[in-house]
Structure 1
Amino acid sequence: MTSKSTGSADRWRVFHATGHAPSGPPVPLPKPPPWRQFQGVPPDSDPDTWDVGAARRLGANKSVAQLGEAEIDVVNAAILLRRPLLVTGPPGIGKSTLAYLIAREVGLGRVLQWNIVSRTVLRGGLYEYDALGRAQTVAQLASPRRVETDQVPPADLGEFITLGPIGTALLPARRPRVLLVDELDKSDIDLPNDLLHVLENGSFDIPELVRSKDAEATVHTDDPGGTATIRRGRVECAEFPVVVITSNGERDFPAAFRRRCLPLEMQPPSAELLLAIVEGHLRHRPDGVEALVDEFALRLGSGGTHSVDQLLNAAQLITHHGFPKGQQGRLLIETLLRDLSKAQ
Structure 2
Amino acid sequence: MTEQDTAAQPVAPPSWRVFHATGRPPEGEPPRLPPPPPWRVFSGSPLQQPPPEDTPSARRRLGVVQDGPQLRAEEIDAVNAALLLRRPLLITGPPGVGKSTLAYLIAQELGLGRVLPWSIVSRTTLGGGLYDYDAIGRAQAIAAWRAGAEGEEGSTAGPPALGDFLTLGPLGTALLAYGRPRVLLVDELDKSDIDLPNDLLHVLENGSYEIPELVRAGAGEVSVLTDDPHGRAVVEGGRVECAEFPVVVITSNGEREFPAAFRRRCLPLEMRPPSREQLVSIVVSHLREHPEGAEDLVDDFVRRLDGGGTQSVDQLLNAVQLTTAHGFRADSDGRKLIEMLLRDLSKGR
For residue 83 of structure 1, what is the aligned residue in structure 2?
A: 87
Shift, 1:43, TM fit: 2.7
Flag the 1:44–1:54 CA change in 2: closer, same or farther, 3 A. Answer: closer
Q: Partner amino acid for 1:278?
A: V
Give, in whole Å, the separation in 2 of the partners of 1:97 and 1:9. 31
Shift, 1:84, TM fit: 0.4
Residue 105 (structure 2) aligned to one of 101, 108, 111: 101
Flag the 1:281–1:144 CA change in 2: closer, same or farther, 3 A. Answer: closer
Sequence identity percentage = 66
For residue 326 of structure 2, what is the aligned residue in structure 1?
A: 321
**2:64 matches 1:48:** no
Residue 27 (structure 1) aligned to one of 31, 34, 39: 31
Give, in whole Å, the separation in 2 of the partners of 1:63 and 1:310. 23
Give, in whole Å, the separation in 1 of the partners of 2:159 and 2:318. 47
Tell me the SS of whatever aligns to 1:204: strand
Any conservation in 1 of the 2:48–2:234 contact (CA below 8 Å)? no
**2:254 matches 1:249:** yes
For residue 59 of structure 1, what is the aligned residue in structure 2?
A: 63
Give, in whole Å, the separation in 2 of the partners of 1:78 and 1:194. 21
* Unmatched segments (≥5 aa) in structure 1: 1-7
Larger radius of gyration: 2
Give, in whole Å, the separation in 1 of the partners of 2:255 and 2:68. 27
Residues 48-97 of structure 1, C-alpha deviations (whole Å, 9 max, x = no match): 34443111000011186653222211110100110000111001110001
Task: Tell me the TM-score normalised to structure 2 length.
Answer: 0.91
Aligned counterparts, 1:180-259, within 5 A:
180-259=185-264
* Unmatched segments (≥5 aa) in structure 2: 1-11
Residue 40 (structure 2) aligned to one of 36, 39, 54: 36
User: Alpha carbon RMSD of aligned pairs, Å?
Assistant: 2.1
Tell me the SS of whatever aligns to 1:268: coil
Q: Partner amino acid for 1:171?
A: L
Give, in whole Å, the separation in 2 of the partners of 1:153 and 1:327. 72
For residue 92 of structure 1, what is the aligned residue in structure 2?
A: 96
For residue 74 of structure 1, what is the aligned residue in structure 2?
A: 78
Residue 294 (structure 2) aligned to one of 289, 294, 316: 289
Any conservation in 1 of the 2:225–2:232 contact (CA below 8 Å)? yes
**2:345 matches 1:311:** no
Q: Partner amino acid for 1:161?
A: L
Shift, 1:170, TM fit: 0.5
**2:144 matches 1:134:** no
**What stretches of structure 1 move > 4 A for 4+ residues in a row?**
63-66, 144-148
For residue 162 of structure 2, what is the aligned residue in structure 1?
A: 157
Any conservation in 2 of the 1:19–1:63 contact (CA below 8 Å)? no
Shift, 1:297, TM fit: 1.3
Give, in whole Å, the separation in 2 of the partners of 1:304 and 1:16. 30
Shift, 1:324, TM fit: 2.3
Give, in whole Å, the separation in 2 of the partners of 1:262 and 1:256. 12
Task: Tell me the TM-score normalised to structure 1 length.
Answer: 0.92
Any conservation in 2 of the 1:140–1:146 contact (CA below 8 Å)? no
For residue 117 of structure 2, what is the aligned residue in structure 1?
A: 113
Moved more, 216-225 or 63-72: 63-72
Residue 174 (structure 1) aligned to one of 165, 171, 179: 179
Any conservation in 2 of the 1:86–1:245 contact (CA below 8 Å)? yes
Give, in whole Å, the separation in 2 of the partners of 1:153 and 1:54. 42
Tell me the SS of whatever aligns to 2:334: helix
